[in-house]
Structure 1
Amino acid sequence: MKTIKHGAMAFAVLAAASLPALSQPANVALTVPDAASIPAGPMGDAIKRGKELLSDTRRQLPGNVGNGLNCTNCHLNGGTVAYASPWVGLAGAFPEYRARSGKIISLQERVNDCFQRSMNGKPLAFDSAEMNAILAYMKWLSTGVPAGTNVTGRGFEKIDTALRPDRAHGRAVYAAQCASCHGAEGQGVANPQGGYVFPPVWGKDAFNVGAGMARMYTAAAFVKHNMPLGQGGTLSAQDAVDVAAFFTEQPRPDFPGRAKDWPKGDRPKDAR
């Protein structure tokens, strides 16, 4: 009887060892589906509507957006750019554990996180036509990406969080590299038709203090890979940290809900 038990235990250990680690999903290439693959009919209409909502968010959803931003101000080129928080593959990545929430959340909850934080606005109803359209677009972008995998370039580029910021140098970097688009006072460049040609990075129409972009190292990672627009990768990691330290500490809307963030006690050092 002991032999049988030991044999069964050994078999179980071997079987478990052969399984992939769920905490380390495999990576696949970021591939954007051809627009010609959008189907005709209601599903295709929803996909196109989802892209419109995410690209023209402030005007399309004025009751849910409390600042001057569109989703694609950070999720560049319709959420298709690596290391600019692309939406490719997200449909199969959620539900997912999020340390900031301290729990497993749905993709709908993640979308609403952005509406409440980055857009300083109000959440969408989970069963609304607008939420379904956004999910339809993200699902289409995820065509061919196996569930449980990450696309290469998901989120932002890694940056050395041991780098110490120099805010005075960051101010100089901002003036030289950022102010021409985002304004000397971070106010952005307004569009005569409404909204902004280039988004504000602080002030009342910018993301609030609960947004990921309000964190110095998160903002630095985005800046390092993507800014100045069209010249991503030209700033050093130190320059990116310095300029992020400068603009993330500028005045912006508050987010009272941030008091409940990281309930497990693993709050990052750059959290606002």
Structure 2
Amino acid sequence: MTLRKLSAVLALAISTSAFAQTAPVTMPVPDDATIPAGPVGDAIRRGKVILTDTKRQLPHNVGNGLNCTNCHLNGGTTAYASPWVGLTGAFPEYRSRSGKVISLQERVNDCFQRSMNGKPIAFDGDDMNAILAYMKWLSSGVPVGTNVAGRGFEKIDTALTPNSENGKAIYAQRCAACHGAEGQGVPNGQGGYAMPPLWGKDSFNVGAGMARMFTAAAFVKHNMPLGQGNTLTAQEAVDVAAFFTQQPRPDFAARANDWPKGGRPKDAR
């Protein structure tokens, strides 16, 4: 067997075998009171602060106005809002966008470069270790090799035909109050945003998962409007995502290297 074939087999095994025979478990969320004392507890708390106040904590790594928890809701503990619960037991993992097995550190930096339109953080630095410590603590109730119900985003019917004009009307009616009539978000008066911008220079770039229509629609369907999730139909979610994902936003030149082994989704930017 050639090295290339062996690599492909290993990638497939890592990505599928851990979860193939194990049903998803209910997502357990630990109480803050269980954060231990001492250096590890300090790192966990620091990780939570970074992820919930990312722009102010890491201004040199964040190129827009977003925090990680704008998408990973409630500190990464909300089902179908890409929760972090259980992630430390899921990585390394094969990612088709990367075309290889990647570490959790690489996945974190993917978000810094794409969703945060910024720069990666040091793999072995205090900030990365704090983020991983927080995610490991969140995952403490999930057995290694077990997926959690609610990981990622809710499934959406990708056969639906988007209507961006209808999406524009839905946006004005259901989304603009929080995200602004022009997608500019709502400033918090401290250099950041109380409600995140959905397009423009301070939003995620075209390489982010949320810039993909069906990915954004899946998030919207389950979670938006905030506090009123699942009040839009799947068609309405696809329509509004078709509208806002196609608005102007920063470019990401490295997206040309995505899906090197094929399988590029039809909504990839």
Question: Aligned residue for 1:51?
Answer: 48
**2:185 is the counterpart of 1:188:** yes
Instruction: Answer yes or no: is 1:110 the counterpart of 2:103.
Output: no
Structure 1 counterpart of 2:223: 226
Would you say 1:172 and 2:178 are equivalent positions? no
**Residue in structure 2 matched with residue 90 of structure 1 by the alignment:** 87
SS in 2 for 1:112: helix
Structure 2 residue 59 is matched with structure 1 residue 62: yes
Cα deviations across residues 141-172 of structure 1 (Å, max 9, x unaligned)? 00121111111000000000000000100000
Please give the alpha-carbon distance, in whole angstroms, between the structure 1 residues aligned to 2:149 and 2:139.
13
- Counterpart of 1:117 in structure 2: which amino acid? R
Q: 1:25-174 maps to which residues of 2 (within 5 A)?
A: 25-174=22-171
RMSD over aligned Cα, in angstroms? Answer: 1.0
Q: Is the Cα contact below 8 Å between 2:201 and 2:250 reproduced in 1?
A: yes
1:34: Cα distance to partner?
Answer: 1.3
The structure with the larger Rg is 1
Secondary structure of the structure 1 residue equivalent to 2:36: coil
**Counterpart in 2 of 1:263?**
260
CA distance in 2, matches of 1:23, 1:30: 15
Local SS of the residue matching 1:197: strand
Q: How many Å separate the matches in 2 of 1:58 and 1:22?
A: 35
Aligned residues: 253
- Between the aligned partners of 2:102 and 2:158, the Cα distance in structure 1 is 26
% identical aligned pairs? 78
SS of equivalent residue, structure 1 residue 181:
helix
Q: Distance in 2 between matches of 1:71 and 1:117?
A: 11
- The 1:270–1:49 alpha-carbon spacing in structure 2 relative to 1, beyond 3 Å, is same
Mapping 1:197-216, distance limit 5 Å: 197-216=194-213
Unmatched 5+ residue regions in structure 2? 1-15
The residue that corresponds to 2:237 in the other structure is 240
Question: In the superposition, relative to structure 1, how do residues 94 and 114 fare at CA in structure 2: closer, same or farther (>3 Å)?
Answer: same
1: CA distance, partners of 2:69 / 2:44: 16
Give the C-alpha shift of residue 21 in structure 1. 4.5
**8 Å CA contact 2:18, 2:146 repeated in 1:** no
Q: What is the CA distance between 1:264 and its match in structure 2?
A: 0.7
Q: Deviations over 1:223-268 (max 9, x none)?
A: 0000000000000000000000000000000000000000011100
- When normalised by structure 2's length, the TM-score is 0.93
Q: What amino acid is aligned across from residue 143 of structure 2 in structure 1?
A: P
Give the drift of 1:26. Answer: 3.1
The 1-side partners of 2:138 and 2:169 are apart by 38
Segments of 4+ moved more than 3 angstroms: 20-23
Residues 243-254 of structure 1 correspond to what in structure 2 (within 5 A)?
243-254=240-251
Distance (whole Å) between structure 2 residues aligned to residue 189 and residue 144 of structure 1: 36
Q: TM-score, normalised by structure 1?
A: 0.92
Deviation at 1:72, TM superposition (A): 0.2
CA contact (8 A) 2:35 2:44 kept: yes
